[in-house]
A and B are shown apart, each in its own frame.
Chain A
Amino acid sequence: MTDCAFQLRHVSKRFTKAKETITIFEGLDLDIPAEDYVAIMGPSGSGKTTLLNVLGGIDQVTDGEVLFNGQRVDTLSESQLARWRANNIGFIFQFYNLMPVLTAAQNVELPLLLTSFNTAERRRRVEIALSLVNLSERSGHYPRELSGGQQQRVAIARAIVSDPQVLLCDEPTGDLDRSSADEVLKILKLLNEEHGKTIIVVTHDPEAAAHAKRILHLNKGVFVDRTVLT
């Protein structure tokens, strides 16, 4: 079963605030094979973001196990998780989350500061990543000088520049118009099909979900429906 990128085993997630305990999932099981492209849909508050955070190691599970390529990651320390994320996971957010003080190229280069690549190699990789998202001519622009769709493509370049195996996307087209959204979705599909990236995308948009290989419907902490598209 090590051809699974992610495996969730009886995962529970509860938030305790004051005296109240909110249960998001209870005993959730999920397998995501390598090179899969999964869309996760569900009503607001159903725990989609929380699920992505758990997969990306930026939120802890309350119970159960999270495995990546067959290895436990829920037991890693915070600094081990940081290194693991840098090597294996790319994140794409709804609101792009670029550094406003850095140019597009510098934003893309950011994850490479954690590697031992020299300046020339870093520049080469930044150029490749930017050309993959069709933004080579915008490399010197600051985020405020780019449209939402362009900013999101910069964010995708940043997510893929260190060549991670998995991309976790939280409503990547949620803030974009149709044509910008389609451009982003085309790039994600290309990354899945041509570059073998495992992609997990949370979305409210049925058209976005339609690009995936399968759709999981999350409601009240359980997968209520599974649609296989291909």
Chain B
Amino acid sequence: MNQALLVAKNLGRRKLRTGLMLLALLIAFFLYGCLESFDRAFYASQNSAADNRLVSVNKVNFTLPLPISYGAQIGLVPGVSAVSYQSWFGGYYQDPRQFLIMFASDPAGYLAVYPNLQVTPAERTAWLADRTGLLVGRTVATKYHWHVGDHVPISSNIYTRAKGSHTWDFTISGIYSFPTDPAREGQVIMRHDYFDETVTFGRDTINMVMFTTKSAALNEAVIKRIDTQFANSPYETTTDTAAAFNRAFASQLGNIALIIRLVLISAFAAILLIVGNTMVMAVRERTREIGVLKTLGFSGTAIMMQILAESMLLSVTGALLGLAVAGLLITGLKDVIAGFAPGMHLAWQEVVGALGWAVVLGLATGGLPAWSGLKLRIATALGRI
């Protein structure tokens, strides 16, 4: 036997009470695991943009169009190394609920602006050669069981075709991965020339010009040059780094980070009160036993450490259980999650963070009873029956 066994046995003496405390902790750390990994996936995709990648959008609002010619004009600006552009297609597969994050873009420019997009040379060649070709992110391909060479019909909830149809036929040219920004694996890219040729309106317009500069040091000058060039035209531009654009876009969705923190703080505050109060009661009913241990020669410090170890064991176990459930859920719902937070998974950041909080929670919930255990006078403790 050792003191660790004594700690574990004390925790096990009231199975129901300990079980309920574990459940409370499990819920808090389950929330922590889910929300933090969501947060990390969300912000990783925002900050993954290379620092020499920039975007130009309509100054009034990024959903308004720009002329397609802006792509070529921006390509001529000194310092710009590669240019592409895109239109939001509003695509869905079979059912409007199966919406796709789908853009129409120029293939050669797109592949140049996103050098980290990984396709085989054969797939690349196929896309460059086939106007109806489609480049599909790995996550999307997995979700719909698409393979290279498949013919897939995709509809748009914005555009119509000349004959009144809403459905376009595509051939999958390639399935790409995007290791530096897994969120992009949730996208689908069609060719803009196919788009232009078939839509009944919106022809020759784009939503965004994406381009890279030869060096991030040139960004400022290039931004100024472009926005000045299109000033006072019917389509004024606003140009910024892709990272800054992503952040601005995210902040329009609401301050997710703040909401997450508020949810977590409330959960942890509730747990602190519940578990803290229960620990106080659990130790109080052992007052006499603590008096006996002290009589046998256990020091106040030893008693204090036993109680802290007990609350720590409880909170760390709760944390690990909560993370395990969060991990199972995130893995199990991967396909669903890919739609709004691609690349979300439980990683060491969440484990380390959760264990850190578990230690803090263990100290906070065990602190008061540990202190009273340290200070408890033997004669007083033994006097109570």
Q: Chain A: residues with CB nearer than 8 A to chain B? A: 53, 56, 58-59, 78-79, 82-83, 85-87, 91, 93, 95, 97, 99-102, 106, 109-111, 113-114, 158
Is B300 in contact with A78, judged by CB distance below 8 angstroms?
Answer: yes
Q: Name the residue of chain A whose CB is nearest to the CB of B296.
A: A111
Give complex CA distance A123, B292 in Å.
22
B296 in contact with A85 (CB, 8 Å): yes
> Is the Cβ of B6 less than 8 Å from the Cβ of A56?
no
Alpha-carbon distance between A12 and B382 when the two chains are bound, in angstroms: 21
Partner of B6, one of A87, A95, A97, A102: A102
Kindly state the separation between the CA atoms of A95 and B12 in the bound complex, as whole angstroms: 23
Residues on B with C-beta less than 8 A from A59 are: 378-379
Would A85 and B288 count as touching, CB distance under 8 A?
no
* Best-surrounded residue of A56, A102, A109, A110 (most CB of chain B within 10 A): A110
Contact of A101 among B12, B296, B299 (CB under 8 A): B12
Residues of chain B lying within 8 A (CB to CB) of residue A83:
297, 299
B298–A114 CB distance below 8 A:
yes
Q: Which residue of B lies closest to A86 (CB)?
A: B297
**Contact across chains for A111 and B300 when beta carbons are under 8 A apart:** no
Bound form: Cα–Cα A99–B298 in Å: 14
Closest to A78 in B: B300
Say yes or no: is B294 at the interface (Cβ < 8 Å to chain A): yes
User: How many of chain B's residues touch chain A, expressed as a range?
Assistant: 20 to 34
B289 and A58 within 8 A (CB)? no
Is there an interface contact between A113 and B12, defined as CB atoms closer than 8 Å?
Answer: no
> B296 is contacted by which of A78, A86, A106 (Cβ under 8 Å)?
A86
Q: Is B47 an interface residue (CB 8 A)?
A: no
Q: Is the CB of B385 within 8 A of A95?
A: yes
Closest chain B CB from A140 CB (angstroms): 12
B2 touches A99 (CB 8 A): no
Near A by CB (< 8 A), chain B positions 262-318 give 288-289, 292-301
Report B1-35 residues with CB < 8 Å from chain A CB: 1-3, 5-6, 9-10, 12-13
Q: Given A53-B379, A78-B300, does the pair A102, B9 have CB atoms closer than 8 Å?
A: yes
**List of A residues within 8 angstroms of B379 by Cβ:** 53, 58-59
The A-contacting residues of B in range 359-385, CB under 8 angstroms, are 378-379, 382, 385
Asked if B299 contacts A102 (CB within 8 A), the reply is: no
- Complex CA gap A86/B10 in Å reads 22
Number of A-B contacts defined by CB within 8 Å: 64
With A83-B299, A85-B296, A111-B297 given, name 5 new contacts (CB 8 A). A58-B379, A78-B299, A86-B296, A106-B1, A113-B1
Chain A residues contacting B299 (CB-CB under 8 Å) are 78-79, 82-83
A94–B6 Cα gap in the complex (Å)? 24
A-chain residues with CB within 8 Å of residue B5 when the two chains form the complex: 106
Once the chains bind, are B3 and A113 in contact (CB under 8 Å)? yes
Majority secondary structure, A binding face: helix
Q: Provide the residues of chain B in CB contact with A158, threshold 8 Å.
A: 296
Q: List 20 A-B contacts (CB under 8 A).
A: A58-B294, A79-B301, A82-B294, A82-B298, A83-B297, A83-B299, A86-B296, A86-B297, A87-B297, A93-B292, A93-B382, A97-B288, A97-B292, A99-B289, A99-B292, A101-B9, A102-B6, A113-B1, A113-B2, A114-B298
Shortest distance in angstroms between A61's beta carbon and chain B's nearest beta carbon? 12
A114 to B293, CA, bound (A): 11
A112 and B6 CA atoms in complex are apart in Å by 13
Residues of B within 8 A of A78 (CB): 299-300
Are A114 and B289 in touch, CB under 8 angstroms? no
Residues in A whose Cβ lies below 8 Å from that of B294: 58, 82
The answer to whether A85 and B9 touch across the interface, beta carbons within 8 angstroms, is: no
Known: A100-B13, A102-B9. A114 touches B1 (CB 8 A): no
Contacts of B2 in A (CB 8 A): 113
Closest to A109 in B: B1
Interface centre among A56, A78, A82, A102, by most chain B C-beta atoms within 10 angstroms, is A82
Q: Which residues of A contact B1 (CB under 8 A)?
A: 102, 106, 109-110, 113
C-alpha spacing A153/B289, complex, angstroms: 18
Most central of B1, B9, B385 by chain A CB within 10 Å: B1
| Contact residues in A for B12 (Cβ distance below 8 Å) | 101
Task: Check if B296 sits within 8 Å of A110, measured CB to CB.
Answer: yes
Q: Which residue of A lies closest to B385 (CB)?
A: A95
**Considering the chains assembled together, what is the distance between the CA atoms of A93 and B297 in angstroms?**
15
Q: Cβ of A114 and Cβ of B9 under 8 Å apart? A: no
Q: Report A-chain residues with C-beta under 8 Å of the C-beta of B6.
A: 99, 101-102
Interface residue ranges of B146-192 to A (CB < 8 Å): none
Find out whether the CB atom of B378 lies under 8 angstroms from the CB atom of A58.
yes
Whether the pair A114, B10 counts as a contact (CB closer than 8 A) is no
Chain B residues, Cβ within 8 Å of A58? 294-295, 378-379, 382
Q: Are B295 and A56 in contact (CB under 8 A)?
A: yes
Q: Are A114 and B297 in contact (CB under 8 A)?
A: yes
CB-contact partner of A91 in B10, B13, B296, B301, under 8 A: B296
Q: Beyond A99-B289, A109-B1, A113-B1, is A85–B295 a contact (Cβ under 8 Å)?
A: yes
Give residues of chain B (232-281) contacting chain A, Cβ–Cβ below 8 Å.
Answer: none
Chain B residue with minimal CB distance to A164?
B297
Interchain CB contact under 8 A, A101 and B13: yes
Return the contact of B297 from the options A85, A99, A109 (Cβ within 8 A): A85
A101 to B289, CA, bound (A): 11
**Given known A-B contacts A97-B288, A102-B1, A102-B9, A91 and B385 have beta carbons under 8 A apart:** no
